[in-house]
Structure 1
Amino acid sequence: MAAEIHRVTIGGVSTACVSRNDLVDLMLVDSKSHNVARPRLLFDINGHGLAMSLFDKKYREDLNAADIIHADGQPLVTASKILTKSPVPERSATTDLFHDVAEAAQRSGKTFFLFGGSQEIVTACAQKMQRLYPSLVIVGMRNGYFSATEEADVCNEINASGADIVWVGLGKPKEQAFCVRNRERISAEWLVTCGGCFNYVTGSYARAPVWMQRTGTEWMHRMITQPRKLLWRYLSTTPIALFLLLARTGDQIKPGRTAGA
């Protein structure tokens, strides 16, 4: 399934050329016709992730283990439109995708497990999603605080819930590492990284104005509204991400073809 998706390299990362609707279809419609032994991994990539992938080898390896990597950052989409022949059609912000999939899951019957953040936040997120999408089935939730010795219990809790889609909000690089480590012992259909999505759903983190989301300056809003947490991150990673977007973005060679074909 994932192998049929066209990809381009953005900032050095193989990124799927898919829209939000494409991702919803893959997760909720197309999944019915595929019998896969392990969960499929859907990871996001943004400027912060690009910079991290340059210096953190383990994160880069975990990221590359994904079945699908989607562009959760408007600058990545813009770079693909300027520097590739088959650009990513639109940004698929994880918070927006979360709502898209929830809306469609009401009709398909696919179930959610929310994993990450504080217990207060994940509980509030589940409650708000149930108000917004009354027919959505959330079969379980759990905070993101656990020790290495508790990880097997976390996986058992997820499996016992019978969830189809597990939203993993542990933040980079922990969420990617968790998904890769446990893809053989979790029985869900999808493991989806979602960072601080639950915080945005509850309103504890504010989304940037739409014009900033569309112009690729949402990171500035986040930096200003969460300076203690994000000021140094964005000041240190944004120049690196811009360099990678310019230097390592381009079309990928199709399978079965050589560079001279």
Structure 2
Amino acid sequence: MNKIVLGGLPIVHTTRGAFARQMIADCLNRVGGPAKVSFSCNGYVVAKANIDQAYARLLAEADYIDADGMPLVFASKVKYATPLPERIATTDFFHDAAEQAASHGVSFFLLGGTPDVNEAVATAIRARHPALCLAGRHHGYFKPADEAGIFAQITASGADVVWVGMGTPRQEALALRIRDSLIGPGWIKTCGGLFDHIIEAHPRAPDWMQSRGLEWLYRMYREPRRLGWRYIWSSPLAAYFLHARSAPDKGIV
């Protein structure tokens, strides 16, 4: 899959639909070996990766990093003759992937959220995608000592794709440990707050704000205590690094 460097990171140059088909192909065509690991990137990820070497090393382990943020799409239009065709918003991508998975017999495992959210999101997904096989699920509130049991549960489920919905960088680190510990899954996809969005616990920004790259402003308005400072420090840095490190020779991982 083709990639371009944006903000120092190798971003897949593809559409949502094609990326979903890539997921299915990787799952159906795998012959042993570790799973493919897919992370998502927005302005916050760009900023953090450029100032936090430990986080950058996690991102360097990914097979795919997709553009889940309009600032990356805007930067690609300025920096490249062939820009990114669209944003791959994880909440939308999940449903593209679920439709493809249901058609090809590819199964999902949901890892993350509170116990109540994890149960509710499984119910919501079954209602929207009745043909999709949900092989298993587990909430995200567990201790390190519980990991081995959860990994065994994933293996026993036979799941093809593991969706890991937690905060950054915990979800990336966990995704890599799953990859290094298990043979069964074909894909491991980090998904942040996807589960809360699916059950509409955290409403998404209006479409006009999403298309203009203002979803961060809506989220900051909705959750100022949790997200205010994050966006205040990361947004200027993201803008700088998207300008300064968006070229084939500017990769940091």
Q: Same fold by TM (over 0.5)?
A: yes
Residue type matched to 1:89 in 2?
Answer: P
Query: Could you tell me which of 140, 144, 159 is aligned with 1:148?
Result: 144
Q: Give aligned-pair identity as a percent.
A: 39
Equivalent residue number for residue 217 of structure 1 = 214
In structure 2, distance between residues paired with 1:78 and 1:67: 23
Q: 1:235 aligns with which of 222, 228, 232?
A: 232
1:183 is the counterpart of 2:179:
yes
The aligned counterpart of 1:106 is 102
What is the distance in 1 between the residues matched to 2:206 and 2:61? 33
Aligned partners of 2:30 and 2:186 also within 8 Å: no
TM-score (norm 2): 0.95
Secondary structure of the corresponding residue to residue 90 of structure 1: coil
Q: Which has the higher contact order (CA 8 A, sep 6+)?
A: 2
Number of equivalenced pairs: 249
Q: CA deviation at 1:252?
A: 5.5
Deviations 1:183-238 (A, max 9, x none): 12222110000000000000000100011111111110100011111111111111
- Counterpart for residue 72 of structure 1: 68
CA distance in 2, matches of 1:21, 1:210: 19
Assess if the C-alpha contact under 8 Å between 2:102 and 2:131 holds in 1. yes
TM-score normalised by structure 1 residue count = 0.92
Deviations along 1:43-94, one digit per CA (max 9) or x if unpaired, are: 1011111111122222111111100110000110110111113321110011
Tell whether 2:162 aligns with 1:172. no
- Are positions 1:202 and 2:190 aligned together? no
Q: CA deviation at 1:250?
A: 1.7
Equivalent in 144, 149, 158 of residue 154 of structure 2: 158
Q: Match for 1:224: what amino acid? A: Y
- Runs of at least 5 residues in structure 1 that lack an aligned partner in the other structure: 254-261
1:14 to 7, 10, 35: 10
Q: Is the 8 A contact 2:20 2:100 kept in 1?
A: yes
Distance in 2 separating the partners of 1:188 and 1:94 = 19
Large movers: runs of 4+ above 3 Å: none
* CA RMSD across the alignment: 1.4
Is residue 2:122 matched to residue 1:139?
no
Contact 1:8 1:252 in 2 (8 A): no
